[in-house]
C-alpha cells in the first residue's frame, strides 16, 4: 500500500456512491496545493464522497474539529450527518476488510492527531483529510452576483435585489448578525466578513451595521456567501465574546474643511502582537463640499495571507459637514500579489483599487449615519488592528 501517493479516483471507484455535486466546494483553490498523505489515502477510498462531506461542512459552518456531528447537530443538519456517515461507513468497511491497513494509516496522521482512541479513529482520519480543503482559499470569493453560484441556483430571486458589486439590499428581510434567513434557508455572510477572513462572522461589525440601518435613516447592503447555504432549521447561533468599539469623535475635527490630507499611523515593532505595520488615512474635500475619507491597512497578520494574495481591508466614507453626519460608508478588501504588495508598501498614501489584483466590496451604507455609529463601524471593520483604534482616538472628543 502506497500511503504517500494514493491516486485520486476519477469516479469514486466501485463504491456505488452517488456522484459529487457539479459545483466545487468553496475553497477548492485555483492555487496548486499538494494534498497531505492522509487526504490522498482517504480520497483514494472515498472519492467524490469526500467532496460531498466538505461541501456539507462548509454549508453548515462545521469545521473539521467538530467531526463527528453531535446528536444535536445531526438532528438539525441531517445532510451533514448523512455526508459524514457515508464516509465513515466506507472507511470502517475498508478497515474490516483490511485490518492491517489501520496501523499504517495511523502512521501518517499529523503529529497532533496521532494515536487516537479506537472509537475516535475514523473521526480523526476525516478531520485530517478534510482540513486543507475546508480552509482552502477559492478565487470564487471575489466573484460578485455570479448567476451560476449555488446561492442563486437555490434562490434566483435574490439576483434582482443584488447590485453589481454583489451586495444584497437587506431592508425588510429577516436578518441576524450571523446569517440571513430567506425562504427556509440560512445564508452565511461573505467570507471577508468573517474574523481573519476564515473564522466565524465578525458579528460585532454586522450588528453595528444592522443597528445603523434600523429604521429609514440608512439603507444597508451586505455581501452574502454565494457558494454555501443551509436549511434555516440547521442553523444554531454561536457566541464569541470579542467586542471592538470606536470612541466618541469630535465634530469640530470631522467637520473642519481644512483638516484634510494623509495621516499615517505606524507600529515600528513586529511579531505576534504587532501584525499591522501601517494604517493610511486620507481626507479630502469633494466638488460638492463634502469630506471624503479613505482608509487602508498594511497587514502581516496570518489571516491576510490567503491563496497567494495579501488581503487588506479598505474603508471609504463621505461626510456632510453642513449637517454633521456621515451619508455613505462602504467596506471592501483589496488582494495584492506579493509583487504588488511590495510596491504598495513603498507608497506613503492611500492607493487606488487598480494597485491591487482583486477587489471585493462587502458592505455599504447610504443615508444618515450617526458619527458614533461610523466610529464603531470603522473599529469593527478593522477588528484586531490597534492602529485603527489609535487613529480614532486622535479624533476623539475625550
Q: State the pLDDT confidence band at 275, using cuts at 50, 70 and 90.
A: confident
Percent of the chain with pLDDT over 70: 89
Asked if pLDDT for residue 31 goes beyond 70, the answer is no
Quickly count: other Cβ atoms within 10 Å of residue 13's Cβ: 14
pLDDT score recorded for residue 273: 64
Q: N- to C-terminal Cα distance for the chain?
A: 69
Q: State the pLDDT confidence band at 20, using cuts at 50, 70 and 90.
A: very low
Question: For the segment 186-226, what is each residue's pLDDT rounded down to a tens digit?
Answer: 999 999 999 989 888 999 999 999 999 988 789 999 999 99
Q: What is the DSSP annotation of 301-340?
A: -GGGEETTEEEEEEEEEEEETTTTEEEEEEEEEEEE-HHH
pLDDT score recorded for residue 115: 74
Asked if pLDDT for residue 22 goes beyond 60, the answer is no
pLDDT score recorded for residue 1: 41
Question: For the segment 142-197, what is each residue's pLDDT rounded down to a tens digit?
Answer: 999 999 999 999 999 999 999 999 999 999 999 999 999 999 999 999 999 999 89
- Global pTM reads 0.86
**Spatial distance between the Cα atoms of 259 and 200, rounded to a whole number of angstroms:** 38
Question: What is the chain's mean pLDDT, rounded?
Answer: 88
| Section 276-303 average pLDDT | 94
Contact 209, 381 (CB under 8 A): no
Amino acid at each position: 500500500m502506497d500511503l504517500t501517493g494514493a491516486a485520486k479516483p476519477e469516479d469514486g471507484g466501485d463504491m456505488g456512491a452517488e456522484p459529487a455535486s457539479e459545483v466545487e466546494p468553496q475553497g477548492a483553490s485555483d492555487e496548486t496545493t499538494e494534498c497531505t498523505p492522509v487526504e490522498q489515502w482517504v480520497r483514494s477510498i472515498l472519492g467524490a464522497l469526500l467532496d460531498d462531506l466538505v461541501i456539507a461542512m462548509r454549508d453548515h459552518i462545521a469545521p473539521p474539529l467538530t467531526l463527528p456531528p453531535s446528536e444535536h447537530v445531526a438532528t438539525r443538519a441531517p445532510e451533514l450527518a448523512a455526508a459524514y456517515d457515508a464516509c465513515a461507513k466506507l472507511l470502517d468497511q475498508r478497515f474490516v476488510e483490511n485490518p492491517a491497513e489501520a496501523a499504517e494509516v495511523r502512521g501518517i496522521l499529523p503529529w497532533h492527531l496521532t494515536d487516537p482512541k479506537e472509537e475516535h479513529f475514523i473521526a480523526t482520519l476525516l478531520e485530517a483529510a478534510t482540513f486543507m480543503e475546508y480552509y482552502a482559499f477559492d478565487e470564487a470569493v471575489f466573484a460578485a452576483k455570479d448567476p451560476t453560484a449555488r446561492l442563486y441556483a437555490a434562490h434566483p430571486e435574490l439576483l434582482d435585489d443584488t447590485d453589481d458589486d454583489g451586495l444584497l439590499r437587506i431592508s425588510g428581510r429577516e436578518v441576524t448578525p450571523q446569517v440571513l434567513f430567506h425562504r427556509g434557508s440560512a445564508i452565511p455572510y461573505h467570507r471577508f466578513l468573517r474574523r481573519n477572513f476564515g473564522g466565524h462572522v465578525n458579528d460585532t461589525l454586522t450588528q453595528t451595521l444592522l443597528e445603523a440601518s434600523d429604521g429609514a435613516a440608512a439603507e444597508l447592503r451586505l455581501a452574502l456567501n454565494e457558494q454555501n447555504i443551509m436549511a434555516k432549521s440547521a442553523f444554531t447561533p454561536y457566541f464569541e465574546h470579542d467586542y471592538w468599539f470606536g470612541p466618541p469623535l469630535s465634530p469640530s475635527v470631522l467637520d473642519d474643511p481644512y483638516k484634510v490630507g494623509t495621516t499615517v499611523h505606524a507600529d515600528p515593532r513586529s511579531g505576534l502582537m504587532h501584525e499591522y505595520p501601517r494604517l493610511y488615512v486620507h481626507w479630502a474635500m469633494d466638488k460638492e463640499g463634502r469630506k471624503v475619507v479613505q482608509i487602508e491597512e498594511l497587514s502581516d497578520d496570518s489571516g491576510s495571507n490567503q491563496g497567494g494574495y495579501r488581503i487588506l481591508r479598505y474603508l471609504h466614507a463621505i461626510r456632510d459637514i453642513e449637517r454633521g453626519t456621515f451619508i455613505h460608508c462602504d467596506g471592501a478588501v483589496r488582494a495584492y500579489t506579493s509583487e504588488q504588495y511590495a510596491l504598495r508598501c513603498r507608497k506613503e498614501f492611500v492607493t487606488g483599487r487598480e494597485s491591487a489584483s482583486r477587489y471585493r466590496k462587502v458592505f455599504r451604507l447610504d443615508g444618515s449615519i450617526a458619527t458614533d455609529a461610523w466610529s464603531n463601524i470603522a473599529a469593527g471593520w478593522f477588528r484586531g488592528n490597534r492602529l485603527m483604534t489609535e487613529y480614532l482616538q486622535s479624533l476623539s472628543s475625550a
